[in-house]
């Protein structure tokens, strides 16, 4: 009877596990395009058998052990389903640290795409664990039993580890969890064969090219007819595959199309071969505003390093201000996440507005839905337009970020929640375009529609880098197609070229408003896998994967993107060496890795009685090895009345079970300093710390004079004027 129950539970678990892939493909409407389905299902079955064997062996040793070892694997499987659905790729294990960030958790868990399955999979696993008879296998002695169980466990883990390493990280061919574990193993064990201590003198020419802006022929009408204002609309995660013009250009259909942008097609310049250089919003925005590559790995974003050394880069808003432009950055997300308020202010934006400046009727953890955002944006733009000088504004949406902000009627109308979110964006954009076409302000505004990153395109070898770039202007007659290859880094030079074609024409780079002879090199990377890509000729892309293997990808149509590709492994040692060098060069820090990072300067927070608010989160920093990580906050608890109090909460991430806490009452009014320190042995990438507060005050306000994180190699001395966070357990 017990054997039958174990057999039944095993079959149920295997069926439920394998059903997850079909559910994901069906929900994403990709079931008919997956040519590796049999191989993938076979990998799912093998992974399921591994879990069954692991449950069987570990249950004989300890009743709780199978829960500890296998439930995390099931949860990783579920997390990967959500991630693939949203971003088209699997989780890299280093990204799991984001689970400690309050803003990330709030945004991600505001909707679960597979709610029933998210219950069924762990339930079937628990049924399997319960069905295993805990009585030990009968051997000659207990010692023999334990030895053999340990041996079985070692064999299981060895076989599974080898399988994970050999099968790679393509979720379309292997189990989702195995693909994630593959990336984690590579991060843990792989080290680059060569580390460059110096670079050739012409390295910038090798990664950016040698073209000057003026080398291209202008594609725009005479300068006198061009609008003065410049509006950049960066849409969260939207790939270029959603433009019908691009689908026709590449002969590569996609089920999603932005009909709103199709309406203005006769007044547009479109760039089909357009790239985002890495994943993550803050990296995309940095590239757009700086005119340079972001780092091609997952280390500390350049934006944080730029805050410490603002003279290192001349930012686009600063240069436009010098030409007499007003500048504004307006986003639908909270400004504290990724410290975008601090970055945008330093970069040169005069007006900075986040989600707190909007009203929305759709609850969404990441910020304001696209409908509310675009309906309320005109009021801010009209206020800018009242000034005597032209203006430059950058908008950033958030509604198409997983798990998506959509109204109930669209959620009911579309089985694919991502498609519903893009339809909602499309409807919202359509109303905004109506406004642009009918208002006096819109008639004097050039609009660049682009994306901060790409949430992926199924079937594309680098779909998570397929960006969107479409320019709308009333002065453009007909559709202009610029067939050159460009990326987010080219928008800064393009905008400056648009503003004054003579002043900046001697600068290096290429403008999307010009056509050039020949191609220039361009690099991009996948944050998820760690792969780096390079192309210097359309139709041919070189890929250096996270195991230092080199591949050549050729498109069937000779363009950057296509319907079909061939991918072959090549043994070009010179190209492999060059890509390794380029990656290391672009991943260099703008500052010393042990230099203090200032996260916040001179920022005031207010909240209602009993309200929680976020101070910072989402930094994604790299902590240097063998350092005493020290978080310091200089603050002022301003004007509290009798009985009012403020409580600060710090999640420093190195111990998920413990949080820092500090309560300030009326007696602690005025300036103060809080310090938290821990020792970090190994280099730690994508580190976050979250600082939140709850305020029970009507008159009291919090001012953060300075919030920083430092990495001294020796333990810092106790500061006389500082107090420490009181640590407490989350379970307490």
Summarize pLDDT for 515-525 with one digit per residue, the tens: 999 899 999 99
| pLDDT at 139 > cutoff 90 | no
In angstroms, rounded to a whole number, what is the distance separating the alpha carbons of residues 619 and 521?
Answer: 30
User: Are 289 and 317 in contact, with CB atoms under 8 Å apart?
Assistant: yes
What does the pLDDT look like over 552-603, one tens digit per residue?
999 999 999 999 999 999 999 899 999 999 999 999 998 888 899 999 999 9
pLDDT bucket at 730, cuts 50 / 70 / 90: low
Contact between 327 and 350 under an 8 Å Cβ cutoff? The reply is yes
* Residue 55 Rama label (left phi>0; alpha psi -120 to 50; beta): alpha
CA–CA distance from 240 to each of 253, 266, 452, 468, 553 (Å)? Answer: 12, 18, 12, 4, 19
**Which residue segments constitute the domains of the chain, with CATH numbers given?**
1-189 (no CATH), 226-477+493-515 (3.40.720.10), 597-731 (2.60.120)
Q: Helix (H, G, I), strand (E, B), or coil: what is residue 688? A: coil
For residue 394, how many C-alpha atoms fall within 13 Å in the half-sphere facing its CB? 27
CB 247 within 8 A of CB 546: no
Return d(Cα 573, Cα 570) in angstroms, integer: 9
Distance, in Å, from the CA atom of 399 to the CA atom of 393, rounded to the nearest integer, reads 19
User: Cα–Cα distance between 450 and 535 in angstroms, integer?
Assistant: 21
189 pLDDT band, cuts 50/70/90, is low
Of residues 483, 486, 512, 453, the one with CA closest to residue 230: 512
Q: Kindly tell me if the per-residue pLDDT of 264 is higher than 50.
A: yes
- Cβ-count burial 59-95 (b if 16+ within 10 Å, e if not): bbbeeebbbeebeebbebbbbbbbbbbbbbbbbbbbb
> Closest Cα partner for 462 from 568, 561, 556, 578?
561
Highest-confidence segment of 188-202, 403-417, 548-562: 548-562
Query: Does 520 or 144 have the greater pLDDT score?
Result: 520
Percent of the chain with pLDDT over 90: 50
Per the CB < 8 A criterion, the answer to whether 669 and 637 are in contact is: yes
Q: Following DSSP, what letter does each residue of 478-516 receive, concatenated?
A: EEEE--S-EETTHHHHHHHHHH-TTTTTTSBS--TTEE-
- pLDDT tens by residue, 430-482: 999 999 999 999 999 999 999 999 998 988 999 999 999 999 999 999 999 99
Looking at the predicted structure, is the pLDDT value of residue 134 above 90?
no
Q: Both tokens of residue 502?
A: 């003579």
Inter-residue contact 290 to 316 (CB < 8 Å): yes
Helix or strand or coil: residue 389? coil
CA–CA separation, 489 and 276 (whole Å): 8
> What integer pLDDT is reported at residue 142 of this predicted model?
46
Mean pLDDT of 219-235: 87
Q: Residue 96 — pLDDT band, cuts 50, 70, 90?
A: low
pLDDT of 156 over the 70 cut: no
User: 150 in the Ramachandran plot: left (φ > 0), alpha (ψ -120 to 50) or beta?
Assistant: alpha
Percent of the chain at pLDDT exceeding 70: 86
If you average pLDDT over residues 379-400, what whole number do you get? Answer: 95
Q: How far is CA 369 from CA 128, 337, 360, in A?
A: 42, 17, 7
Q: Kindly state the DSSP code that residue 141 receives in the 8-state scheme.
A: S
Q: Tell me what pLDDT residue 106 has.
A: 53
How many angstroms separate the CA atoms of 356 and 61, rounded? Answer: 54
Q: How confident is the model at residue 635 (pLDDT cuts 50, 70, 90)?
A: very high
Among residues 283, 392, 286, which one has the least CA distance to residue 344? 286
281 pLDDT above the threshold of 50: yes
83 vs 99, higher pLDDT:
83
Burial of 356 (0-12, 13-18, 19+ CB in 10 A): exposed
**Cβ contact 117:105 at 8 Å:** no
Q: Dihedrals φ, ψ of 87, to 5°? A: -120, -5
Cβ(591)–Cβ(305) below 8 Å: yes
Element (H, E) at 542: strand 540-544
Question: How many CA atoms does the CB half-sphere of 182 hold within 13 Å?
Answer: 26
C-alpha pair distances (Å), 191 with each of 98, 395, 544, 547, 580: 24, 39, 14, 9, 12
Per the prediction, the chain carries an average pLDDT of 86
What Å distances lie between residue 235 and 232, 294, 359, 529, CA to CA? 10, 18, 19, 23
Arithmetic mean of pLDDT, 73-93: 78
- pLDDT tens for residues 312-347? 999 999 999 999 999 999 999 999 888 899 999 999
């Amino acid at each position: 009877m017990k054997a039958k129950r174990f057999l039944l539970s095993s079959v149920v678990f295997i069926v439920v596990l394998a059903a997850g892939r079909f559910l994901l493909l069906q929900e994403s409407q990709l079931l008919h395009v997956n040519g590796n389905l049999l191989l993938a299902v076979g990998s799912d079955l093998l992974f399921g058998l591994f879990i069954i064997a692991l449950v069987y062996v570990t249950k004989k040793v300890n009743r709780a052990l199978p829960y500890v070892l296998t439930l995390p694997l099931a949860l990783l499987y579920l997390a990967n389903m959500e991630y693939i659905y949203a971003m088209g790729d699997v989780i890299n294990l280093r990204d799991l640290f984001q689970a400690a960030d309050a803003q990330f958790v709030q945004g991600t868990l505001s909707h679960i795409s597979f709610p029933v399955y998210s219950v069924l999979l762990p339930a079937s696993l628990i049924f399997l664990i319960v069905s295993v008879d805990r009585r030990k296998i009968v051997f000659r002695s207990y010692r023999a039993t334990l030895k053999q169980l340990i041996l079985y466990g070692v064999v299981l883990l060895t076989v599974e580890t080898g399988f994970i390493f050999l099968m790679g990280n393509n979720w379309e061919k292997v189990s989702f969890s195995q693909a994630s574990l593959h990336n984690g193993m590579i991060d843990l064990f792989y080290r680059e064969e060569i580390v460059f201590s110096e670079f050739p003198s012409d390295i910038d020419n090798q990664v950016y090219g040698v073209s000057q802006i003026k080398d291209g022929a202008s594609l725009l009408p005479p300068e006198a007819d061009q609008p003065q204002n410049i509006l950049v609309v960066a849409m969260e995660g939207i790939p270029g595959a959603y433009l019908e013009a691009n689908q026709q250009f590449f002969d590569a259909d996609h089920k999603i199309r932005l009909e709103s942008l199709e309406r203005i097609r006769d007044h547009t310049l479109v760039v089909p071969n357009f790239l985002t250089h890495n994943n993550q919003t803050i990296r995309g925005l940095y590239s757009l505003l700086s005119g340079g590559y972001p780092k091609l790995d997952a280390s500390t974003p350049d934006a944080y390093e730029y805050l410490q050394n603002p003279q290192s880069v001349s930012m686009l808003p600063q240069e436009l201000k010098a030409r007499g432009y007003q500048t504004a950055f307006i986003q639908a997300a909270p400004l504290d996440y990724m410290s975008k308020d601090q970055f945008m202010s330093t970069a040169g934006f005069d007006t900075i507005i986040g989600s707190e400046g909007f009203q929305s009727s759709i609850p969404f953890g990441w910020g304001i839905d696209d409908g509310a955002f675009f309906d309320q944006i005109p009021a801010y733009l009209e206020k800018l337009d009242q000034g005597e000088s032209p203006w430059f504004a950058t908008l950033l949406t958030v509604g198409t970020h997983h798990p998506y902000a959509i109204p109930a009627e669209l959620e009911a109308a579309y089985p694919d929640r991502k498609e519903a979110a893009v339809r909602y964006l499309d409807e919202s954009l359509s109303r905004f375009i109506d406004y642009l076409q009918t208002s006096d302000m819109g008639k004097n505004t050039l609009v660049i529609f682009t994306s901060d990153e790409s949430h992926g395109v199924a079937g594309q070898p680098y779909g998570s880098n397929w960006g969107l770039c479409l320019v709308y202007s009333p002065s453009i007659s007909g559709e202009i197609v610029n067939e050159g290859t460009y990326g987010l880094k080219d928008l800064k030079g393009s905008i400056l070229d648009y503003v004054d074609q003579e002043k900046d024409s001697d600068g290096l780079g290429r403008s999307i408003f010009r056509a050039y002879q020949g191609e220039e090199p361009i690099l991009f990377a996948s944050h998820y896998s760690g792969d780096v890509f390079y192309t210097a000729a359309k139709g041919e892309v070189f890929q250096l994967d996270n195991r230092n293997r080199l591949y050549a990808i050729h498109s069937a149509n000779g363009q950057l993107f296509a319907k079909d590709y061939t991918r072959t492994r090549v043994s070009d040692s010179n190209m492999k060496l060059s890509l390794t060098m380029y990656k290391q060069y672009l991943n260099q820090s703008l500052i010393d890795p042990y230099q203090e990072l200032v996260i916040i300067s001179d920022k005031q927070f207010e909240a209602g009685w009993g309200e929680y608010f976020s101070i910072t989160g989402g930094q994604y920093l790299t902590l240097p090895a063998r350092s005493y990580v020290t978080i310091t906050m200089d603050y002022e608890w301003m004007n509290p009345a009798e009985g009012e109090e403020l409580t600060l909460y710090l999640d420093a991430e190195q111990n998920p079970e413990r949080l820092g806490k500090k309560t300030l009452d009326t007696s602690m009014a005025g300036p103060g300093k809080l310090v938290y320190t821990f020792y970090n042995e190994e280099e730690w990438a994508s580190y976050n710390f979250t600082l939140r507060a709850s305020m029970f005050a009507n008159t009291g306000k919090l001012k953060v004079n300075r919030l920083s994180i430092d990495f001294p190699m020796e333990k810092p001395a106790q500061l006389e004027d500082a107090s420490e966070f009181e640590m407490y357990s989350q379970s307490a």
